[in-house]
Amino acid sequence: MAVIRIAVIRIIDVCAWGLRFLGAAALVFMALSVFYDTMMRYLFLAPTSWSLEINSILVAAIAFIPAAHVLRERQQLRIGLIQDQLTGIPARVVATLIGLCGMAFCVVLTWRGGMIAYDAWLYGERMSTVLGTPKVLPYSLIPIGFGALGLAFLANTLEVLAGVERREDGAPL
Amino acid sequence: ASTYTGVTYMPPSYTALMWGIDGFNKRLNEGMGDAGKAEFYDSATLLKADEQIAGLRSRSIDYMFHTSTYISRSFKAVGLLGLPSLVGELYENGDRISRGTPLFNLMRDHLRQDNIEMLSLGGGVIEPQYVWSAKEPITSLEQLRGRKVRVVGYEASTALESIGVVPVRIPSSETYLALQRGTVDAAVANISTVIARNLQEQLKYVYKLPITAYTIGLYMRADRYQNLDPVAREAFDNATAWYDANSADQVNNVLYKRDHWPKIDEAGIETVEPDQAAREQFTEISKEVWEWWKDQAGREFGEKAIALARGESA
Amino acid sequence: MIEPLIALGTLLGLIALGAPVFLALGGAGLLGLYMARGEMALFLAPTSVFGQLNSFEMIALPLFILMGFLLSETPVGRDIFHVASVWLNRIRGGLAISSVGACTLFGAVSGVSIAGVASVGKLAVPEMMKRGYSANLAAGSVATAGAIAMLIPPSVPFIVYSAMSGVSVSSLFIGGLIPGLAIAFALSFYIYLRCRLRPDEAPSVEQTVDWRARLLSLGRIWHVVFLVVLVVGTIYSGLATPTEASSFGVIGAAAIAGVVYRVLTLEKLIEIVWNSLRVSATILLIIGCAKIFGDYLNLIRIPQMLASTATSVALPPELVMLLVMLVLIALGTVIDGFSLIVVTTPFLLPIVTTLGYDPLWFGIVLVMNLEIAVVTPPVGLNLYTLKGVVPELSMEQVIASALPFVAIQFLVLLVFVLFPGLSLWLPGLL
Ligand code: NA
Ligand code: NA
């Protein structure tokens, strides 16, 4: 069992790390492309047709895509006043409860978000802009991001149930 | 009693455009009596403009009012209502897209294929979007060349680009500052947007070339509409009939003329009507976009719809 | 009316248990939507989260965070502090006042409070203690003044409030300037008085500095001035919109870190991007999930209900606002700044506007509350940041040091609450 658990957690972490990498790339692209678009408009009267649209979508990407990795690193903003005082069984009960809530929340968003992305694909919906991005692309960020986030909650919960008290860096679970 | 949830992204500061929407909701609720209740949410409190279609399709809402320019590449039939220059003809002849006209029925049937029921287009297009310039006069096709103009939407951007305009995409919220500081030279806008964002404080000229326009349409899911219970159905139909007969008419012929344009005059903005030559030249240029739209919406449908919009028998 | 209480209880319960704040907001909102309209309403959650974030104006948030992180890797904080200390060396307590000034100036190039605390505090606190300043004075001045970065533009909290309220970011940025400077002056004046009354807290005379050295020292902060001029200049000249200007801030900060200070190795750069991404993603996800909860409140018309309650309660508006401030300060002790904005704005804004106050003004006093929230225990981000960069201080010491400064911040807040015109006249001019 332990082997399977460790393997599952490992796979989740690799996926989360990959998504985080994409998020970092999105952030760098955002800074550079907005600068580029502005300069092209000012100097050459040749702004891009895509900067506004793509970078708006990237804000959502930056929020969703790295979320799983941030959660695995226990870096999502939380108020740990009570939880951090707990040890033993109460600590595990609370951590498991949060993990289950997290998974339930992510299941709803992944499922419903997936259906919305599917509809946008089925009816060929597009943004009414020059670029006309098919809406299925941005809407897919919802199931991808929250799907990974749900798996990160699963990995956290598996660790709690297996009795891992502290992470390697000493942070509470 | 059932609850019917409706939305629009427009805030109350769009006073003229909200007049018909408020009137519709009032009549809808009166019509349903105890049998149902319409809950309406404006200002994008429930759904942002871009997400209204997704909300309608997924049935988190039951009906929506939406500006056609926002949804023209999803509801391809309504792309007609924003075609450059053509919107000038539709504005002058508002009754061509009233409920029950051949053009309205043609578009309605087209949208039904995608399970969308178009109940009304407000009875006509809202007065077209013109070119509003801030510092230097942009009051002819020649003066538009090489100018940075804030514009939204494929149809308007493409037509302007072919007369040498540099189309600029910036968020609506930053348009005021962009005009003030010269980030853009002009903006293509409806007069409601100008007034709601106080752009008249920064503007000096308006060139009344019909670049694009929108309707405030009322949409439901087709299956949702078909399956309304009889009382609700009647209430929707009666409120829709009122909306169709009054909305655009009131906006264009009463509210804009009485409340909006005087504010433009007060601000000292110079109004320039394009001459016949400019209109014709712009129509020729725009036909490229019309062709593109026909390909999007389907050739046969597109030909027929444009002919009807121009007052020809299809 | 049991359902809204269940939703609110779920929100507060999850927060208290230590669940991530985004989950508390999103989960409680989802439960509320389901109770109010059944299964179909669950579809509002994904569209709302996405719609809330799919916004060009919001790019300023990650970009101003990135700009601050780029600069906090450079010795810019140290340099600003040195310049200020050279100019203020004749005053008793001059170094502590210098650290307030340095934090304020750093605030003009950073959108979050911790970047300034880390950057200035790393050098200034040990330096002051070495020269005989009391640890309380040294730590307290930096911990509290670091928060001024949230009022001086650019400011991430203002961007968050703008997303919640619809008030324009430009107006908020301009409106934060006066209160930000007022707090800086109040803190400096307090340090001056304190050193006069308790001379043992700061050494009397420091080395003399001539005017030539003072002027020459300015050469060490030209980068910061350049960056401020760059960002403001691009907006003023019409080159860029306020949102686009944030990308100029990033490029400028990267140039200063990479070319002027040469501290940008590839490894460092990756670390900076990752840290900025982590902080941005955390805040953005909370903003997105707050919209789910906000949807629920809107759906059942809570804002209208609160507004009509506010009109029916026969209390003077000033008194209501004072109560609101006390609630915010109490919440601010246990809730971090960003969550404070997203959790309270949907409830408070309808009350505030019904009482006739300007939403712009409320945004400003809300962020002034954040200034206090980040330095009050047990949850005070600045306190932990300062402890992180100055390990020789104990946590108790850091907390104790901040408390008298909090009292000063509170007095300034009161003034701006009772006289809204003080913060509104500047945005009104433009
Ligand atoms: Na700042
Ligand atoms: Na606090």
Contact B209, B279 (CB under 8 A): yes
Q: Is the pLDDT at C93 greater than 80, yes or no?
A: yes
- Interval B133-180: pLDDT, tens: 999 999 999 999 999 999 999 999 999 999 999 999 999 889 998 999
Contact A49 B58 (CB under 8 A): no
Write down the mean pLDDT value for chain B.
Answer: 95
Token pair 């210098």: residue: C98
| pLDDT band for position B127 (cuts 50, 70, 90) | very high
| pLDDT band for position C285 (cuts 50, 70, 90) | very high
B208: phi then psi, degrees, rounded to nearest 5: -85, 55
A171: phi then psi, degrees, rounded to nearest 5: -70, 145
Best mutation target among A34, A39, A92 (most C Cβ atoms within 10 Å) is A34
d(CA B164, CA B159): 9
Q: What single letter denotes the amino acid at residue B159? A: A
Q: What is the pLDDT of residue C343?
A: 83
What does the block give as tokens for B3? 């609850």
Best mutation target among A43, A123, A128, A129 (most B Cβ atoms within 10 Å) is A128
Contact C46 A109 (CB under 8 A): yes
Q: Is the pLDDT at C430 greater than 80, yes or no?
A: no
Q: Is the pLDDT at C192 greater than 60, yes or no?
A: yes
**Angle in degrees, 0-180, between the axes of helices A2-44 and C60-72, rounded to the nearest 10:** 100
Q: What is the pLDDT of residue A166?
A: 53
- Interval B180-233: pLDDT, tens: 999 999 999 999 999 998 899 999 999 999 999 999 999 999 999 999 999 999
Contact A92, B34 (CB under 8 A): no
If one compares C226 and A136, the residue with the highest pLDDT of the two is A136
The size of the A-B interface in CB pairs under 8 A is 63
B41 CB neighbours in chain C (<8 A) are: 298-299
Q: What is the pLDDT of residue C76?
A: 85
Distance C151 CA to ligand 1 centre (A): 6
Q: DSSP assignment, residue B240?
A: H
Q: Is the pLDDT at A165 greater than 70, yes or no?
A: no
Q: DSSP assignment, residue B229?
A: -
Contact C264, C250 (CB under 8 A): no
Contact C343, C289 (CB under 8 A): no
Q: Which chains would you list as touching A if contact means 3+ CB atom pairs under 8 Å?
A: B, C
Query: Which chain A residue is nearest to residue B71, measuring alpha carbons?
Result: A128
| pLDDT band for position B113 (cuts 50, 70, 90) | very high
Mean pLDDT across C100-124: 86
Q: Chain A contact for B67, CB < 8 A?
A: no
Contact C382, C147 (CB under 8 A): yes
- Interval C397-425: pLDDT, tens: 898 999 999 999 999 999 999 999 998 98
**A145 three-class SS:** helix
Element (H, E) at B131: strand B129-133
Write down the mean pLDDT value for chain A.
Answer: 92
Contact C366, C409 (CB under 8 A): no
Element (H, E) at A108: helix A88-122
Contact C281, A63 (CB under 8 A): yes
CA-CA-CA-CA dihedral for A39, A42, A46, A48, to nearest 10? 50
HSE-CB of A112 using CA atoms within 13 angstroms: 25
Q: Chain A contact for B215, CB < 8 A?
A: no
Mean pLDDT across B261-284: 96
User: A1 CA to chain C: closest CA distance, Å?
Assistant: 28
d(CA C48, CA B47): 6
**Which residues are registered as beta bridge partners of B64?**
B7, B219
Pairing type for strands B36-41 and B2-7 reads parallel
Cβ atoms < 10 Å from Cβ of A93: 12
SS (H, E, C) chain C: CHHHHHHHHHHHHHHHHCCEHHHHHHHHHHHHHHHHHCHHHHHHHHHHHHHHHCCHHHHHHHHHHHHHHHHHCCCHHHHHHHHHHHHCCCCCCHHHHHHHHHHHHHHCCCCCHHHHHHHHHHHHHHHHHHCCCCHHHHHHHHHHHHHHHHCCCCCHHHHHHHHHHCCCHHHHHHHHHHHHHHHHHHHHHHHHHHHHHCHHHCCCCCCCCCHHHHHHHHHHHHHHHHHHHHHHHHHHCCCCCHHHHHHHHHHHHHHHHHHHCCCCCHHHHHHHHHHHHHHHHHHHHHHHHHHHHHHHHHHCCHHHHHHHHHHHCCCCHHHHHHHHHHHHHHHHHHCCHHHHHHHHHHHHHHHHHHCCCCHHHHHHHHHHHHHHHCCCCCCCHHHHHHHHHCCCCCHHHHHHHHHHHHHHHHHHHHHHHHCCHHHHHHHHHC
Nearest to residue B272, comparing CAs of B178, B219, B203? B203
Residues 6+ positions from A4 with CB-CB distance below 8 Å: none
Q: What percent of chain B has pLDDT over 90?
A: 94
Mean pLDDT across B4-26: 95
Contact C71, C252 (CB under 8 A): no
Query: Which chain A residue is nearest to residue B49, measuring alpha carbons?
Result: A127
Maximum C-alpha span of chain B: 60
- Interval C207-227: pLDDT, tens: 677 888 888 888 888 888 888
Mean pLDDT across C106-127: 85
C391: phi then psi, degrees, rounded to nearest 5: -65, -25
HSE-CB of B306 using CA atoms within 13 angstroms: 22
- Interval C347-373: pLDDT, tens: 899 999 999 999 999 999 999 999 999
Who surrounds ion ligand 2 at CB < 5 A? Answer: C 332-333, 373, 376, 379-380
Token pair 């493409």: residue: B158
Q: Which of the ligands is closest to the CA of residue C228?
A: 1
